[in-house]
Structure 1
Amino acid sequence: MALSSQDVHNLLEQTLACRSPAEWRQMKEKCRGTFSGSLIEHLHPPKPGSQKNEICEILCMWMLEPHERDALVAKDAMEHSEPDYKPLVEIYTLRKSTQLFLIKQAYLTRFKRHMDQDIISDSSHSFQKILAALATSHRSHQAETSHHIAKCDAKRLYEAGKGSTSTTGSIDESIVLEMFSKRSVPQLRLTFSSYKHIYGHEYIKTLKKESSGEFEESLAVVIKCMHEPAKYYSKMLKISMKGGMKNRSTLSRVMVGSMEVGVENVKVEFQRRYGIKLQDAISENIPVGDYRDFLLALANTPFTCSSTMKL
């Protein structure tokens, strides 16, 4: 069953009328039951750039189950001539191992390929190296966290910056990649907190202080997303809103993704960082229309942090 213009208008009216998280969940269930057969088609509109396609895309992203949406986002990120690794970073750092398993299954079912293999088929980019390490971690790590291990790893990270063998940057890549492959995401978060406690500043600040290469820049993005998701998403929202029509798909993905980490946290960080409310920034930067109305509805709905972040 295809989504007609009237379908889109009706869906928008009904979803904008929802106010509570429970109402939004009920509306999503109704939408999925009615339009599930046409979602994939409208996630990749045939004529990008129009406001109609923008609202179709974000409505469909919103309607999909999170693991189905992530599988499609991952595939789309890798299909470009220059892959966009940030959506993959979001998936591998902000999803539980159980959720990542469902994402991979959805990817395999839809595309008849293994997501991990597609990501690391050519590990020439630093993002790919880090993602490969995180993929290994999700398959093998222990769920418990240890403050002792975190302190030891923080010291190893400090030493990795002092004894680098890299010719282009400041960090010993092998130590970082080994750590990322053996530690869970919650354990890595604890390590970065321990680093700040021991050395008095964030590890990312260390990366920026040194002569950064591609690996250090990629690592900083991964750590920001993993350790401070509200800051990461607020920055991504600001960038994508300023990017014009070419960044609308990014804006849709990031806006829906911010709901997964707690949109209220993102709103607070956005206003603290940029001195303007997220809703006001949307109104100023996005043309009047259904797409802007839906973004504002997402920003105004009092969602709480989802189980995605309880890693």
Structure 2
Amino acid sequence: MLAMSTLNFETECREIHGSWGQLNRLARALANRTRHERQQIRETYKSIYGDDLVNRLKDAAAAGISPKLCAALSMWMTEQHERDAVVVREALDDQKGDTNYNALVEIFVGRKSSHILLIKQAYYRRFWRQLDQDIINIEPPNPYQKILVALVASHKAHHEDVSQHIAKADARRLYETGEGSSGPIEEAVVLEILSKRSIPQLKLTFSCYKHIYGHEYTESPKTRNYGELENAMKMVVQCIYNPPDYFAAVLYANMKGCISDEGAVRRVMVSRAEVDMDEIKREFKKKHGMELRDAICDNIPSGDYRDFLVALTVSKSNESA
């Protein structure tokens, strides 16, 4: 088994290099490493061998060597803002020609404004493109794209403090333009609120909505035909208001093949392992009556990739998203 000392990264890197063909050993060791330790291993490996461990994993995946495991390990070894920049680019440049709005929303509502700035910088360094402009230029324009443009603006207008007064006022506006009216949701009002409020402020707004009206914003008791904007808002609000519930639903739906979002399980497991994995596991068991690790074992073929995902279900030291 690979050395687990947090002090002697050089010894561990030599063991990694010497047992490169045994990726299962590498996966078991790295799954238990903190973000700081992983970066130390990556830097030490490069200083010894002049080669980036992440690039080696990507090359192995491209060559067909345990591609799913190598892709997951390379994500796990990459700094979060760099990883997010790649996920965003892949979401915008989907090989099937469809923008992956789920992946984009997860990042824009699940990251602090300071982190979004790092993502934009990494995106430009890597792809020589402006992230904001690429979001604006999504074709054809649709409710998800408009909401994403609003969320981009919300990060620019970020304020650390949240206001109960503003949250209550916004909740009432959302009610009056939604289930409190006989017509469809007023798009302009919704987009204005999304663009002018920080994510913490929006979370408080949806909490106030439940307190005032007795149910979630996405759970209107009225029978109505939801349009594209309502459906998009339902997904966005769930991701903002209750991330563990949202991610538990994403994992279940993808493992059961209910929706097609290639890479979603890997993306969620890697990105949330150090954020709220315990909460996701609780929500998963509450909603689906089984442990997340058992669902992974039941729905993903046996092998090193499955073992790595199972290892990620073990709580890591929580870090800010």
TM-score higher than 0.5:
yes
Q: Conserved in 2, the CA contact under 8 Å of 1:264 and 1:303? A: no
**What is the identity, as a one-letter code, of the residue corresponding to 1:217?**
N
| Contact 2:284-2:291 at 8 Å conserved across structures | yes
Matched to 1:278, the amino acid is L
**Cα separation, partners in 2 of 1:190 and 1:40, compared to 1, 3 Å:** farther
Q: 1:132 aligns with which of 146, 149, 160?
A: 149
Name 1:39's counterpart in structure 2: 55
Q: Specify whether residues 220 and 261 from structure 1 end up closer, same or farther in structure 2 by C-alpha distance, changes over 3 A only.
A: farther
In structure 2, what is the equivalent of residue 306 of structure 1?
Answer: 319
Unaligned runs of 5+ in 2: 1-15, 46-50
C-alpha distance in 2 between matches for 1:185 and 1:299: 26
Q: Could you say if the C-alpha distance between residues 101 and 55 of structure 1 is closer, same or farther in structure 2, counting changes exceeding 3 Å?
A: same
Deviation at 1:263, TM superposition (A): 0.5
Opposite residue 303 of structure 1, the aligned amino acid is: K
Q: Which residue of 2 aligns with 1:188?
A: 202
Shift of 1:6: 5.2
In 2: Cα distance, 1:90 partner to 1:188 partner:
15
1:141 corresponds in structure 2 to 158
Code of the residue aligned with 1:108 in structure 2: it is Y
1:65-84 matches, within 5 Å, as: 65-80=79-94, 81-84=97-100
What whole-Å deviation, never above 9, does each CA across 1:86-106 have from its counterpart, x for those lacking one? 111011101001000000000
- Correspondent of 1:155 among 155, 163, 172: 172
Which AA in structure 1 matches 2:227? G
Are the aligned partners of 2:150 and 2:192 in contact in 1 as well (CA < 8 Å)? Answer: yes
How far apart in 1 are the matches of 2:222 and 2:288? Answer: 21
- State the AA in 1 paired with 2:186: D
How many angstroms apart in 2 are the aligned matches of 1:43 and 1:178?
Answer: 44
Distance 1:107 1:208 in 2: 43
1:306 offset after TM fit, Å?
2.2
In structure 2, the residue corresponding to 1:307 is in which secondary structure? coil
State the secondary structure of the residue aligned to 2:215.
coil
2:7 corresponds in structure 1 to: none
In structure 1, stretches of 5+ residues that fail to align are none
Distance 2:230 2:85 in 1: 27
Give me the whole-angstrom Cα distance separating, in 1, the residues matched to 2:71 and 2:169: 45
> Structure 2 CA distance, aligned partners of 1:203 and 1:43?
45
Where is the helix percentage greater, Structure 1 or Structure 2? 1
Q: How far did residue 51 of structure 1 move?
A: 7.4
What secondary structure does 1:204 align onto?
coil
Q: Which of the numbers 22, 28, 40 marks the counterpart of 1:29?
A: 40
Counterpart pick for 2:103 among 87, 110, 115: 87
For CA contacts below 8 A with separation 6 or more, give which structure has more relative contact order: 1
- CA distance in 1 between partners of 2:44 and 2:185 (Å): 50
2:219 alignment partner AA? K
1:109 partner amino acid: R
TM-score by length of 2: 0.84
State which of 157, 177, 182 in structure 1 corresponds to 2:191.
Answer: 177
User: After superposition, where does 1:268-287 map in structure 2 within 5 Å?
Assistant: 268-287=282-301
Residue 202 in 1 paired to residue 216 in 2? Answer: yes
Residues 51 and 291 of structure 1 are in contact (CA less than 8 Å); yes or no, is this contact kept in structure 2? no
AA paired with 1:106? A
SS in 2 for 1:176: helix
Aligned-residue sequence identity (percent) comes to 41
Q: CA deviation at 1:42?
A: 1.6
Determine the C-alpha separation between the residues in 1 that align with 2:257 and 2:214.
Answer: 35
Q: Is the 8 A contact 1:74 1:87 kept in 2?
A: yes
Larger Rg: 2
Q: Cα RMSD (Å) of the superposition?
A: 2.8
Question: C-alpha displacement at 1:141, in angstroms?
Answer: 2.7
Of 257-266 and 275-284, the range deviating more from structure 2: 257-266
CA distance 1:56–1:290, change in 2 (3 Å): same
Residues of 1 paired with 2:168 and 2:277: CA distance?
31
1:7 and 2:23 aligned: no
